[in-house]
Amino acid sequence: MIDPDCLFCKIVAGDIPADTVLETDDVLVFRDIAPQAPVHLLAVPKRHIPSIAEVGPEDHGLLGALVQAANDAAGAFGLEDRGYRIASNVGDEAGQTVFHLHLHIMGGAPLGALAVTDLQDRTP
Ligand code: 5GP
Ligand code: ZN
């Protein structure tokens, strides 16, 4: 399924150019347009799913293929031994801006803390 208003669906369809680094039947991996690490890639399923919070049993195979592609892309950039981070934002407080499931693959330098380090007065 393609959402005609979705940025990453347009990239998957080839309507918006992207720097593709790996493609399989079900997954596309391309460079993030505003990298936050020396290597910053995005792995997306070709099928439109709004976020990783909205996967169902029918998506289990696709999720496996997505993680496999993310790991393969990290390996292609020499990150296998150095280490890398895979992250997927869900919703506002996580900073999700594109509502098509994507895994961020980041590496190539020490990445630092995963999230806010000042937790004082931030009880949920
Ligand atoms: P989010 O904030 O939703 O977790 O991540 C969205 C990511 O998509 C951001 O890191 C942003 O830089 C990237 N991005 C936004 N627009 C484009 C685009 O047109 N092309 C590419 N390659 N990446 C994009
Ligand atoms: Zn989409």
The set of protein residues with a Cβ atom below 6 angstroms from ligand 1 is: 7, 18, 30-34, 42, 89, 95-98
C-alpha distances in Å from residue 78, one per residue of 4, 62, 84, 92, 121: 35, 24, 10, 32, 40
Q: How confident is the model at residue 100 (pLDDT cuts 50, 70, 90)?
A: very high
CA of 120 to the centre of ligand 1 (A): 30
pTM, entire model: 0.95
Domains of the chain (ranges; CATH) run 7-107 (3.30.428.10)
pLDDT in tens, 64-94: 999 999 999 999 999 999 999 999 999 999 9
| pLDDT of 2 strictly over 80 | no
